[in-house]
Amino acid sequence: MKINTGSLLTVLPYIGLSLALILSTWAFLRSEQYRRDTDAILSQTYEIQWRATQVRERLLRVNGYIRLASEAGKLEPDISRQIALVSVNIEQLLALSYVDRFLPQKDIKLLENVRQVIEKNITPIIVSRTNYQAALDYMTRLEQDMFEVSSATVNHSATLQETAQIDIAASRNWFIFAIALGLLATFYLVIHQRYAFVSRRDQRM
């Protein structure tokens, strides 16, 4: 089967333009998807970090109230509200559908343990208003646990964001390649049409 080189060269630029259009459209859509994914990661990271920060701040206040009570013998009434807020924020944090994307099971168990210790160990001490030193020992461990959880959240979210940025860069490279291919096909088409016009003109002369 004989291939018509002239016909192939005529069709080739149109194939290149079509391919460039398909590639650029695909790259643009993928880039937009990765951008939306990155925005979602940032939003989810902020929510988790904010909740974890709330827990840490409430724990610090509870710790301060207990320490003050152990030294002065007077317990601040606000401590009950702060303890409740610790449990509420942990509950809401664990209820997030994407929490397992940012926190490993070890840290999720740490959060559950913080809530259990608050409810089963700290609260009875507060109610009885005795043995504040034991409560302070619990609080020290809980604050360390929350520090580990916060650090894990930051590290994992940074990894997810870096991955998303790499994907965006890859899509951008494909988009640039598609544009270059389209320009090349366009220039070739212009040159080909020009020479075809000159050839037809010469044949008529």
Asked if the structure places residue 37 within a domain, the reply is: yes
36: containing domain: 8-204
CA angle 95, 59, 70 (to 5 degrees): 150
Asked if the structure places residue 188 within a domain, the reply is: yes
Residue 30 sits in a domain whose CATH number is: 1.20.1330
Asked if the structure places residue 48 within a domain, the reply is: yes
pLDDT value of residue 146 = 84
Which pLDDT tens digit goes with each residue over 88-103?
999 999 998 888 877 8
Percent of the chain with pLDDT over 70: 59
Which pLDDT tens digit goes with each residue over 119-159?
999 999 988 888 899 999 999 899 888 887 776 665 555 55
Which of residues 150 and 71 earns the better pLDDT score?
71
Asked if the structure places residue 151 within a domain, the reply is: yes
Query: For residue 108, how many C-alpha atoms fall within 13 Å in the half-sphere facing its CB?
Result: 14
Percent of the chain with pLDDT over 90: 23
Whole-Å CA distances, 67 to 115, 121, 131, 146, 147: 20, 16, 11, 19, 20
Which of residues 41 and 140 earns the better pLDDT score?
140
Asked if the structure places residue 71 within a domain, the reply is: yes
Number of domains in the chain: 1
Residue 77 has pLDDT above 70, yes or no: yes
Q: How confident is the model at residue 36 (pLDDT cuts 50, 70, 90)?
A: confident
Q: How confident is the model at residue 191 (pLDDT cuts 50, 70, 90)?
A: low
Asked if the structure places residue 1 within a domain, the reply is: no
Q: How far apart are CA 101 and CA 157, in angstroms?
A: 9
Residue whose pair of structure tokens reads 């809530």 in the numeric block = 115
Which of residues 176 and 80 earns the better pLDDT score?
80
